Amino acid sequence: MSKRRHLARRDADAQLKFRFQLRHYSKRHAVADSGARLNATTSVVASGAAPLWRIVSLLGVAQIISWGTLYYTLTVLAAPIRQELGFNDLTIFGAFTIGQLVSGAAAPLLGRRIDRVGGRSVMMIGSLAAAFALAVVALARGPILFTVGWMIAGFAMAACLYDTAFASLYQIAPDRYRRAVTGLTLFGGFASTVFWPLSHGLSNAYGWRATLLGFALLHLLICLPIHRFGLPLVHTHSTTSTLPSAGEPRSYRHDRRFVWLALSFAGATFVFSALSAYMVAALGTRGFSIAQAVWIGALIGPMQVLARIVEWLFTGRVSAIGVGFVACALSLIGMLLLSLIPASLVFGALFALCYGASNGILTIARGTVPAELFGPQQQGALLGALARPSFIAKALAPGVFAAGISGGFSLQTGLYLLAFISALAFVCFWFATRPSTTPAASTSVAVDIDGQV
């Protein structure tokens, strides 16, 4: 009985702290306005929630599998697919690009659904879609079915990768959301580390088709149960009442800062996606040998994880917006280094540090800056809407960059252009995070969490 009272008192303290933060947000962003306003109250109840560390750990395992099988594995399996089916790279990676475009189209719709019914059902659907998609690709004999499989996989990515997981975590623990996001991304950072060698080994032993069918089973046997039993059932409902008071809550849809933020994230994503296929060649333009370039590229992954650990340690001291500025600045510095450095391993390691750290903490900024800018309402829809241009940029960047190189631009010129885009992303982020000068008002949010989180 005493333990139950202790848990109830701790949940009450967490709710009180969160409501105080909301009132503080409202005072900073609200202006007086005579007349009536629409007061929206959203209630979120997470039933039977497990401790937050357990939820993050379980979701982390699911994220490793989801990223590894849906995003990273094709890089390894492209060669045996090409050999057996006779597809060229345009067919293989073009199908993947179409899947990314499907992700961009589906993300806002899935985000709004999370706001209405919670993340459990959406991520369960994502696991089922992922299993089905991988099975379709495994059975494909021609380009049409192969492309259809990756289109389904694109929907699955929108339903079970970071953006839906972030929105789900916000509903479960809004007062500890940022630390939860950082913890989740620490797990996700190991997806390529696990699934690149795993895909290679399984493909060599059993073939690429059996490998994909095995990965489909992982979604059914591990990810689906995690999303079903690891995520609490969230009940959401909204009530509206007309009250005399100050200003009407402004939706992110009517806020120019949303456009600037979307452009910033999309620009940064374009740079990372375009450069990923040309990393070794780009380092070669600075005079590095292939062996040196591979060594420098291998440092990028550990730098991502290291940056996320540092962000975890400084969560209470630096705002999410501050982390976003650091990510954009490091991206710009990294691209300038890649464009200008001499063939020195010290400078190469410095580039890997800046570029990898930027990539690592930008993921955290994408999940946490929107809540700090626009408040707690409609997090699923907000993150989904922000994800759409980033998905599109990620899908188109490799092809656009390759077309530019094929069209006569030198790789060095391409690097200068990517550095320029990084600078534009930094400027857009600055515009997005300037204090709003347009009227905004407070939104009352009641959060009731039943059980230990």
Q: Which of 4-8, 241-245, 293-297 has the lowest mean pLDDT?
A: 241-245
Phi then psi for 44, rounded to 5 degrees? Answer: -125, 125
Q: Is the pLDDT of residue 41 over 50?
A: no
Q: What is the mean predicted confidence (pLDDT) over 367-396?
A: 87
* pLDDT at residue 376 is higher than 60: yes
Q: Is residue 268 part of a domain?
A: yes
Note the pLDDT of residue 251: 62
As given in the structure block, the two tokens for residue 212 are 């994909």
Question: Is the predicted pLDDT of residue 119 greater than 80, yes or no?
Answer: yes
Residue 33 has pLDDT above 50, yes or no: no
Does the residue 191 lie in any domain? yes
Give, in order, the Cα–Cα distances in Å from 99 to each of 162, 238, 284: 16, 34, 31
* Residue 7 within any structural domain of the chain: no
How far apart CA 4 and CA 309 sit, in angstroms, is 33
What is the per-residue pLDDT for 39?
36
219 and 110 co-located in one domain: yes
Does 344 have pLDDT greater than 90? Answer: no
Q: What is the pLDDT of residue 154?
A: 95
The C-alpha atoms of residue 306 and residue 310 are separated, in whole angstroms, by 6
Task: Tell whether the model's pLDDT for residue 248 goes beyond 50.
Answer: no
**Is residue 386 domain-shared with residue 308, that is, in the same domain?**
yes
Same domain, 265 and 206: no
What are 185's two structure tokens? Answer: 């991304």
Q: Tell me the mean pLDDT in the region 236-248.
A: 41
pLDDT for 237 equals: 53
Closest Cα partner for 135 from 126, 146, 144? 146
Same domain, 219 and 286: no
- Which pLDDT score, from 0 to 100, does residue 446 have? 33
Higher-confidence residue of 37 and 410: namely 410
User: Is residue 320 helix, strand or coil?
Assistant: helix
4 falls within a domain: no
Is 359 domain-assigned?
yes
Choice among 90-104, 109-123, 318-332, 435-449 with the minimum mean pLDDT: 435-449
What confidence tier does 227 reach under pLDDT thresholds 50, 70, 90? Answer: very high
Q: Which two tokens stand for residue 263?
A: 């452009």
36, pLDDT greater than 70: no
Structure confidence at residue 42 (pLDDT): 42
| Residue 28 pLDDT > 50 | no
Task: Indicate the pLDDT class of residue 314, thresholds 50, 70 and 90.
Answer: confident
Which of 204, 234, 264 corresponds to the end of one domain?
234
Question: Band of the pLDDT at 22, cuts 50, 70, 90?
Answer: very low
Q: What is the pLDDT of residue 276?
A: 79
The answer to whether residue 16 sits within a structural domain is no
pLDDT band at 48 (very low <50, low <70, confident <90, very high): low
Distance (Å, whole) CA 73 – CA 78: 8
Q: Do 265 and 117 share a domain, yes or no?
A: no
> Which percentage of the chain shows pLDDT scores above 70?
81
Identify whether the C-beta of residue 14 lies closer than 8 Å to the C-beta of residue 175: yes
Question: Are residue 426 and residue 280 in the same domain, yes or no?
Answer: yes
Helix axes 162-172, 52-67, angle to 10 degrees: 170
Asked whether the predicted pLDDT for residue 381 surpasses 80, the reply is yes
Q: What sign results for the dihedral spanned by CA atoms 385, 386, 391, 396?
A: positive
pLDDT band of residue 235 (cuts 50, 70, 90) is: low
Average pLDDT over residues 311-340: 91
Q: How far apart are CA 78 and CA 91, in angstroms?
A: 10
9 — pLDDT class (breaks 50, 70, 90): low
Q: Is 67 left (phi over 0), alpha (psi -120 to 50) or beta?
A: alpha
156 plus 301 within the same structural domain: no
Which of 202, 234, 266 finishes a domain? 234
Residues spanned by the domain of 262: 255-432
- Are 219 and 283 contained in the same domain? no
Q: What is the pLDDT of residue 188?
A: 87
Residue 49: its pLDDT value, please?
57
Structure confidence at residue 136 as a pLDDT band (50, 70, 90): very high
pLDDT, mean of residues 325-333: 95
Strand order in the sheet with 36-47: 233-244, 36-47, 444-450
∠ CA 368-374-379 to the nearest 5 degrees?
A: 60
- Looking at 172, 205, 234, the residue that finishes a domain is 234
Tokens standing for 188?
């996700």
| Lowest mean per-residue pLDDT among 27-36, 50-59, 199-208 | 27-36
pLDDT band for position 451 (cuts 50, 70, 90) = very low
Which band of pLDDT confidence, cut at 50, 70 and 90, is reported for residue 1?
A: very low
The CATH number assigned to the domain holding 147 equals 1.20.1250.20
Clarify whether residues 343 and 383 are in a common domain.
yes
pLDDT tens digits for range 411-450: 889 999 999 999 999 999 999 998 755 444 333 333 333 3
Q: Are residues 303 and 214 in the same domain?
A: no
- Could you tell me if residue 424 is inside a domain? yes
Residues 158, 268, single domain; the answer is no
pLDDT at 241 over 50: no
Domain count, the chain: 2
Q: Same domain for 199 and 322? A: no
What percent of the chain lies above the pLDDT cut of 90? 46
pLDDT, position 236: 59
For the CA atoms of 29, 34, 36, 40, what is the dihedral angle to 10 degrees?
10
Q: What is the DSSP letter of 70?
A: I
Query: Residue 180 is which amino acid?
Result: A
Per-residue model confidence (pLDDT) at position 173: 86
In whole angstroms, give the CA distance from residue 370 to residue 379. Answer: 8
Q: What is the mean pLDDT of the chain?
A: 81
